[in-house]
Chain A
């Protein structure tokens, strides 16, 4: 076993345990903190996949913005749902069954797939990848349309969020 594999297994175990804690933790603030640990673990995977830029975005966007938004929302709505009492539906076993069935289905597809255990190919010139991505996002014959659509979507989401959550003055 190489060092890379050992790092992968350790990070995967931490991330999965943290993700499970997000889902079953009674205290919503604890869930949000576990979510931060999960997202950091995923950032490590991006580094292992030679996508360092995505690790940076993961930290800045997910941990820096989204997880903090979750913590704020949990604090703003704290009073109503105290940490006592059941935090999950009465038929939680049905949800568990559906999740397990989905995993079984995915595993079945994996087993029947030939190239499942492909090894990592050599990456040629990993330093040029980032500028290539940046150029591809603004080049008219590549991804400029999805890129602009994403920016419009973000503006619309921002205006919508301000409008929906803003205090209405009568």
Chain B
């Protein structure tokens, strides 16, 4: 039997790795990959808490479904923005995208 703590520690580690990627990478696409890792770790937490704390309820699973939908929307819009910026500015480096900075 796997205790709940294993899932929580694993998800925390995955979240921290994703956060590290978001903070450190230069490439905007790689930053989005870090965000995907963080969203996945949150989803593991949601499903694990559903399974261990409330297996007869349905709220945890419904919440995880919404997170899936939001992740798909987020990555579609994010990559569209990056491709659009690449067309105009010929760069995907997050530091160079400073049109709104003054």
> Across the interface, which residues of A come within 8 angstroms of B53, CB to CB?
118
The 0/1 profile, CB within 8 Å of A marked 1, for residues 1-35 of chain B is 11111111110111111111101111101101110
Contact (Cβ within 8 A) B90 A80: yes
A158-B83 Cα distance, complex, nearest whole Å: 15
Contact (Cβ within 8 A) B80 A42: no
Tell me the smallest distance from the CB of A100 to a CB of chain B, in Å. Answer: 7
> Across the interface, which residues of B come within 8 angstroms of A74, CB to CB?
29
Q: How many residues from A make CB contacts under 8 Å with B? A: 86
Contact (Cβ within 8 A) B51 A49: yes
Contact (Cβ within 8 A) A28 B13: no
> Across the interface, which residues of B come within 8 angstroms of A35, CB to CB?
33, 36-37
| Given A65-B72, A153-B69: A103 touches B16 (CB 8 Å cut-off) | yes
With both beta carbons as reference points, the residue of chain B lying nearest to A107 in the complex is identified as B12
Tell me the smallest distance from the CB of B18 to a CB of chain A, in Å. Answer: 7
- From 124 to 159 in chain A, residues with beta carbon under 8 angstroms from any chain B beta carbon are 124, 129, 132-133, 136-137, 142-143, 146-147, 150-151, 153-154, 156-158
6 smallest A-B Cβ distances: which pairs?
A: A95-B23, A157-B73, A23-B21, A165-B80, A161-B80, A150-B69
* Chain A interface (Cβ < 8 Å from any Cβ of B): 2, 4-5, 8, 12, 15-16, 19-20, 22-23, 28, 31-32, 35, 38-39, 42, 45-46, 48-51, 53-54, 57, 61-62, 65-66, 69-70, 72-74, 76-77, 80-81, 86-89, 92, 94-96, 98-100, 102-103, 106-107, 110, 115-121, 123-124, 129, 132-133, 136-137, 142-143, 146-147, 150-151, 153-154, 156-158, 160-162, 164-165
List 25 interface pairs A-B (beta carbons < 8 Å), by A numbering. A2-B1, A12-B10, A23-B25, A35-B37, A57-B65, A61-B68, A73-B79, A87-B30, A88-B26, A95-B24, A96-B24, A99-B16, A106-B12, A106-B15, A116-B4, A119-B4, A120-B52, A133-B61, A136-B58, A142-B62, A146-B66, A147-B66, A150-B65, A154-B69, A160-B80
* Chain B interface (Cβ < 8 Å from any Cβ of A): 1-10, 12-21, 23-27, 29-30, 32-34, 36-37, 40, 43-44, 47-48, 50-53, 55-56, 58, 61-62, 64-66, 68-77, 79-84, 86, 90-93, 95
